[in-house]
Amino acid sequence: MELNYRFKDNDFEETVLLMHGFLSDMSSMEPAAGHLMEHFNILFVDLPGFGDTKAGGDYSMDDVSDALAALIMSRWGAVHVAGYSMGGRVAVSLIINHPGVIKSAVLESASPGISDPAERKKRQELDRKRADSILSDYVSFIDAWEKMGLFQSQDFADAGQRMRQRENRLAQNPYGAAESLINYGTGTQKSYWADLPGVSVPVLLLAGEKDGKFAAINQRMEELIPESRLEIIPGAGHNIHMEAADKFGIIVLEFLIGG
């Protein structure tokens, strides 16, 4: 699996890998780089199915983290990682499967998967339906996606930011987006809940105050990950780095610099 990436060399010793969410690409993480640019090099990556990373055929979440680990080792040896939503799930897989390439992790609105087999099966069925909808009428799917309760808090975000987010979503390849759901969506990926107590790197967990579902998930994660800290961001929903960019940058930077 060949990953499309962009390295922003700011002439620092350490690098932060930023990983985007579903229906977007590396460019959507540029606001998240914000304050980090002043202290770290930034590695942007298009995850499989998005941007210019094309990954046809069968592959799994573990294959995605294997490809990322190979990329990191090829040039940087080890990096800090920050992943949002889908990118956060990928980051969990990376720190579980390849802890040696990760110095610390920031998990924004992330999850280690679904542990209950019955719930996983329900989610697989939902993801298949969503994949069918994407392939049937991508624009209509985006319209419905943006009206989900998960993103209601973004109604009060900057109009320009919301427009750029929508344009980025519409720019994605529907086939790649559908493929990502089938191959490494929440229902398909293995559950990493049982692996969390063995995480050996410092982890910052971020959840929005208005995102009750993921706030609860991350509270459970904090209980299981030995060296972790949870920050609930006031006034923010699922996409913290867009809805509260300055607060996101300050909290993440303090975590990364402070270790």
Domain boundaries, the chain: 5-258
Tell the CATH superfamily of the 5-258 domain: Alpha/Beta hydrolase fold, catalytic domain (3.40.50.1820)
List the structure tokens of 238: 């699922």
Burial class (CB in 10 A: 0-12, 13-18, 19+), 99: middle
- The pLDDT of residue 146: 84
- The pLDDT of residue 216: 97
Task: Kindly report, residue by residue over 211-223, the tens digit of the pLDDT.
Answer: 999 999 999 999 9
Helix (H, G, I), strand (E, B) or coil at 69: helix
How far apart are alpha carbons 148 and 196 in whole angstroms?
29
pLDDT at 16 over 80: yes
pTM: 0.94
Alpha helices (H) in 137-227, listed in sequence order:
138-146, 159-170, 174-184, 212-224
pLDDT band at residue 150 under the 50/70/90 scheme: low
Task: Kindly report, residue by residue over 70-83, the tens digit of the pLDDT.
Answer: 999 999 999 999 99
Mean pLDDT of the chain: 93
- The pLDDT of residue 148: 74
